[in-house]
Structure 1
Amino acid sequence: MNEQRPGQDQTPAPEETPANSIRMRTFQFIMLIFFLVLATAGLTVFALTFGEEKAVEVGAPARQEFQKLFSAYDQLQSEYYTEVESDALINGAINGMVEALDDPYSDYLSQEEATQFMNSISSSFEGIGAEIQERDGLITVVSPIANSPAEEAGILPGDKILSVDGESIQGMSVTDAVMLIRGEKGTEVTLTIQRGDSGNTIDLTVERDEIPLETVYAEMISENVAHIRITSFSQDTYTELVEALANMEEAGMEALVLDVRGNPGGLLTTAREIADLFVEEGEILFQVEPRNQESEIFRATGGDKIDVPVTLLIDGGSASASEILAGALSESADVTLVGENSFGKGTVQTANDLPDGANLKFTTAKWLTPDGNWIHETGIAPDVEIGYPAYMTLPLFDTEAELKEGVISEEVEVAEQMLQAIGYEVGEVDGLFDETLTEAVETFQEDNELEVTGILTGDTSYAVIDALREKIENDDPLVQRAVEVIVEEAGLVSEPAAEEPSAEDAAEEPADDQQTEPE
C-alpha cells in the first residue's frame, strides 16, 4: 500500500502505450528540425554580418570560369590607386567579351550609350547619312544613304574615316564612332578620309541634316523600261515599293531595272517581303542557320507577283538585306545581276535589351542563299560585270585651294580628270597645271558664266564638281548596261522616255482645241 505525501499529485500516471510512444518521438523530431532551422538562420546572419561578401552564395551556384573575373574585379576595386566606378568595370568587362568575338556586327551599348543612340535615331534621323562598320581596325563606309549629306559631300563606299573633327577614331568601336559623327541638323563635322590604297587623305566638312526617310525612288528611263532604286530596307520600304511599282505600271512599264547599289541593308523581314514579289510560290528565298541547328528555310508565298522581266543592279555597297534579295532573285527567279561584286555580309544579328537599359547586339545565325551558298566576306558576283568609270570614284579636291598654271599636285590631276570627263580638252593628265589646262578652265568659266581667270578655286571649283555630279546622275553607264540586258532578254524595243514640255514651252504652244487670234 502506497502512502500519500503532502503536495504530491494525486492524479494517477498514464499507462505507457505504443500510441503514446509514437507521439513522443514525433514531437522530439519536430523540435529537432526547429532547432536546426534556428541554428542555420543564426549562422547565416553571422556570416552576412561579419564574413566576406561572397561567403554566402544566393541563387545560382558559383561558376568556376568566373572566379578569375571576380578576383580581378575585387583587386581593382580595392587596390587601384584611385577610386573605380563599379559600372565602368562591368561595362568594360562586357565590352571586352564582345570584342573578343572579333565580329564587327556584334556590339554592346551601355545604358547611357543605348539611350543616346535611341534618342539620335528617334530625333528625325539627324546626321550625315552613312552606313559604317569596322574593318581591320578602321571605320569604313559601307555606303552613303541616297540624297544624304554624306553622298552630296562625295563620300563613297570603301572610304576609310580616320578622324572626326581632328580626333582619331582608329581602333574605335562603331558605336563610339557613330556617337562622334552624328549630331543635330545644321551643325558641321569634319571627317578625314582615306580612299583606296593611297596614303593621302582629304578633309571633308559635312553639314548634318535630316536623313531622307524615303527609301524607294522610281522613274521611267525609256518608253517601257522603269528604273526603281531601293536605298535601304526599312519598315515602310515594302509599301513604298508596291506603290512605286503600281505607278510605273500605269506609266507603261514592260521591264524593270531594280537597283540596290549602295544599299547597306536593313530589316530581314522587309527583304523577305520584297523578294517574295519576284519569286514564284514555293521557291526558296533564303535560309537561316543558327549554331548547331538545322537551317530554317523561307519560301515564297502566294499572292501578286511582278510579271515583267527584271534585272538587278548591285555593287560593293550592296550589303546584307540587299544580298538576300540578290541571292533570291538570282537563284530562284533567274534574274540577271548586273554591276560589281556585292559587299559580303552573310550573318544575322539580334539586339537584346539588358535589365538596366543597356543593349547587347550580337550575331545569332548565318544566312544562306536558296542554293545553300554562304556569301560572307566574298559577296555575290554579278552575271554581267561592269565597273564604274574612273571619274565616278574620283576624290574631291580642295575647293578653297588656288590651282593655277605652274602648280603640280595630285589635286590638279583630279581636276584634270573631272574636266576631261565633262567634255573639256585638258591635254595629258599628269598633275601639271599647264597652258592647255588653263585654256580648258577658261572655256569652262565662259560656258558657265563665271569670271574668266583660268584659275580653279571657289565658285569655279564648285561648278566643276557639280557638273561632274550631274553627268553621273544623267549618264550612269551601269544603268545603261542593265537596260541593254533587260531589253535584249525581253525582246523589247526601247525608246528614250518622252520629256514633258516645260511650263514655258506649254505657254508658247497652244493646245489643238485652243483658238488664237492676232492681237
Structure 2
Amino acid sequence: MKNRWLVIISICSLLLGAAGTYGSLLWILPPGTMDFSKEKVESNQDAITERERTQGLNKVEDALELIQKSYVEDVSQEQLIQGAIQGMVGTLQDPYSVYMDEDASERFNDSLDSSFDGIGAQIAIQEGKLIIISPIKNSPAEKAGLKAKDQIISIDGQSVEGLDVYEASKKIRGEKGSIVKIEIVRTGLSKPLNVEITRDKVPVLTVFSDLKKSYGENIGFIQITSFSQGTAKDFSTQLRKLEEQNISGLIIDVRGNPGGMLSSVEDILFQIVTDSKPYVQIKERSGKKNPYFTGLKEKKSYPITVLIDEGSASASEILAGALHEIEGYTLVGKKTFGKGTVQQALPLDDRSNIKLTMFKWLTPNGNWIHGKGIKPTIEVEQPAYFHAHSLQLEETLAHDMNNENVTIAQEMLMALGYGTGRQDGYFDEQTERAVKAFQSIKNIPVTGRIDEKTALKLEEEIISAIQDEKNDLQLQVALKTFR
C-alpha cells in the first residue's frame, strides 16, 4: 500500500467548524491506476479543438476587458476571474463540484484535525438546498436538537440562498463560546425553527465499543461516527478486545456517519470482507470500471449486522454495501443518504483549487446508489419521540390554546407515558391533566401550564429516553438477528 495516489472523494459534506471540510472522503489508489494530472484532465477534452478553445478564451478576455473599462463601478480583475471560474463550475449544475479560493482550500486540506471549534454538524447541498447530513455525537449541534435532513435557510438572520457549502461553513464556524443562530425547515413542521447554538471545542472521537448480551451470548458492538485517520486503528484495537471476550456476533453502527477517509474504511474492510467480489468499483467517464479487492480469504467466524439510517453516507455506504453484497450480512434501520460520485481537488497555480466530480463509485454488484441510497435488509423505524421537535415557546402554553407547539408537547408527554388523549395541537382538559401529572412527578410547580421550565424538563426527559438503549428499536432488532 506504499506510494499510493491521494484522491479526494467528497461526500459533499462540510464539518461546521474551524477544521473546514472534515467528512470529505480521501481515497488512496495504487500508482499507475489512474492519471489525475492536470495534463490528463486537459487531454480528455478531445471534443474541443484548439481553435475553438482559442476563440472561447478570447471571448472571455474581451468580456473581462469590457467590464473593467466600462462598468459603472471599479471591479478588480481577481474578482472577475474568480467569478468566471465559479460561473463555469456552476454551469455543471453539480452540487459536489466546487471552486475553492485559497482560504477555502486551506480549510479543505486541514480537515482532519483531531478537534476543532464549531458546532459539530455536517452539511451538504442536495437539490439546491443546504441540508444537514448529521450532527456529530455529543456535539453542540446534537445537543441543540439539529437532525439529519434539516434544511438550513438562514444563518444569523441572513439567507443562505446562493451559498455553497464552503461559504455557509465560513458563516457558521467560529470561536469557542460564541453563538450562531440558525434557522431551519424540518419535515413535519409548518413553520421554521430558530436554533441558537454555542460553539465549542468538538473532539473527533470516531470509534466507541461495548459488549452486549443477546439470548445469553456475547455480542460485540462498535459504533463508528466518521472515518478519520485513526479510525481503522481504533476499530482494530477495540475489535480485538471484543473478540477476546468470545463474541458470537458483531454489530457495526454507522447511523449518522457521514463518511470520511476511504483509506480508513478500506482498512476496516480488509479485516472483515473477503475478496470474492470487489469491495468497491470506480466507474470512469469512458464507462470503464476499476474494481478493488481486500485480499482477505477467510471471513470472520461470527456474523455481522450493520445499523444504517438516512445519515449514513459515502464511506458508510461503501462499508454497508460491501458487507451486505459480498458476505450477505444483515442491514438494519433506514435507507441511507445516497452519495455515489467521486470528486478530486485539482490545485490551481494560486493555491486555490477546483473540487470536480470525475467518477462514480459502484457497490460490489455494480449498483450505483447515488440519490437512491442503500435499503436495509430489515427496515425499522425508531419510536416517534426519536424525531421529536424542539419546543419554540413564545408564550406559555395553556388550556384552550391550539398551535403547533401544543402538538409537540402532546407528542412528548405521550412518549413519556402521560396520556394526553390527543396529539392534534388543541390544549384540552386531558392535556392539562397530563401536564399536571408530569409536573408533579418531576417536582415542578403544578400549574397545568407549559412554561419554559416545564418545556426544558420535557426535552431533558425525551433526550434521556432516546439515550436509553432499551428504547433503541433498531439496536434491539439488530441484537435479535444473531438468534
1:74-132 per-position Cα deviation (integer Å, ceiling 9, x unaligned): 11111111111111011111111111111111111112333466678759421111111
CA contact (8 A) 1:400 1:458 kept: no
Aligned residue in 2 for 1:209:
200
1:282-323 per-position Cα deviation (integer Å, ceiling 9, x unaligned): 532111112115211111123886432111111111111111
Secondary structure at 2:238 match in 1: helix
Tell me which moved more, 277-286 or 72-81.
Answer: 277-286
CA contact (8 A) 2:207 2:223 kept: yes
Residue of structure 2 aligned with 1:256, choices 250, 253, 256: 250
Aligned residue in 2 for 1:441:
435
Secondary structure at 2:69 match in 1: helix
Closer, same or farther: CA 331–480 of 1 in aligned 2, 3 Å: same
Give the number of the structure with larger relative contact order, counting CA–CA contacts within 8 Å between residues 6 or more apart. 2
Aligned residue in 2 for 1:476:
472
The answer to whether 1:171 aligns with 2:159 is no
CA–CA distance in structure 2, aligned partners of residues 238 and 276 of structure 1? 10
Aligned residue in 2 for 1:328:
322
CA contact (8 A) 1:400 1:457 kept: no
1:201-246 per-position Cα deviation (integer Å, ceiling 9, x unaligned): 1101111112231111112232512222111111111111112212
Q: How does 1:223-234 map onto structure 2 within 5 Å?
A: 224-234=218-228
* Larger strand proportion of the pair: 2
Question: Which amino acid letter does the alignment assign opposite residue 481 of structure 1?
Answer: V
Q: How does 1:236-385 map onto structure 2 within 5 Å?
A: 236-292=230-286, 294-302=288-296, 306-385=300-379
TM-score normalized by structure 2?
0.84
* Larger helix proportion of the pair: 1
Tell me which moved more, 314-323 or 132-141.
Answer: 132-141
Closer, same or farther: CA 441–250 of 1 in aligned 2, 3 Å: farther
Aligned length: 428
CA contact (8 A) 1:189 1:208 kept: yes
Question: Which amino acid letter does the alignment assign opposite residue 264 of structure 2?
Answer: T
1:381-412 per-position Cα deviation (integer Å, ceiling 9, x unaligned): 11111122322112111256411222211111
Tell me which moved more, 436-445 or 413-422.
Answer: 436-445
CA RMSD of aligned residues (A): 2.1
CA–CA distance in structure 2, aligned partners of residues 272 and 119 of structure 1? 21
CA contact (8 A) 1:276 1:285 kept: no
Residue of structure 1 aligned with 2:380, choices 359, 380, 386: 386
The Cα of 1:158 is off from its aligned counterpart by 0.8
CA contact (8 A) 1:148 1:211 kept: yes
Aligned residue in 2 for 1:459:
453
Secondary structure at 1:129 match in 2: strand
Closer, same or farther: CA 456–321 of 1 in aligned 2, 3 Å: same
Closer, same or farther: CA 122–330 of 1 in aligned 2, 3 Å: closer
Q: How does 1:49-88 map onto structure 2 within 5 Å?
A: 63-88=54-79
CA contact (8 A) 1:127 1:182 kept: yes
The answer to whether 1:421 aligns with 2:415 is yes
Identity %: 40
Closer, same or farther: CA 244–123 of 1 in aligned 2, 3 Å: closer
Secondary structure at 2:203 match in 1: coil
Query: What runs of 5+ residues in structure 2 fail to find an aligned partner?
Result: 1-49
Secondary structure at 2:272 match in 1: coil
Secondary structure at 1:211 match in 2: strand
CA contact (8 A) 1:319 1:344 kept: yes
The answer to whether 1:126 aligns with 2:114 is no
Secondary structure at 2:274 match in 1: coil
Query: What runs of 5+ residues in structure 1 fail to find an aligned partner?
Result: 1-59, 489-519
Question: Which amino acid letter does the alignment assign opposite residue 473 of structure 2?
Answer: P
CA contact (8 A) 2:152 2:182 kept: yes
Tell me which moved more, 400-409 or 232-241.
Answer: 400-409
TM-score normalized by structure 1?
0.78
CA contact (8 A) 2:224 2:254 kept: yes
Secondary structure at 2:433 match in 1: helix
Question: Which amino acid letter does the alignment assign opposite residue 162 of structure 1?
Answer: I
Aligned residue in 1 for 2:151:
160
CA–CA distance in structure 1, aligned partners of residues 308 and 435 of structure 2? 35
CA–CA distance in structure 2, aligned partners of residues 260 and 322 of structure 1? 6
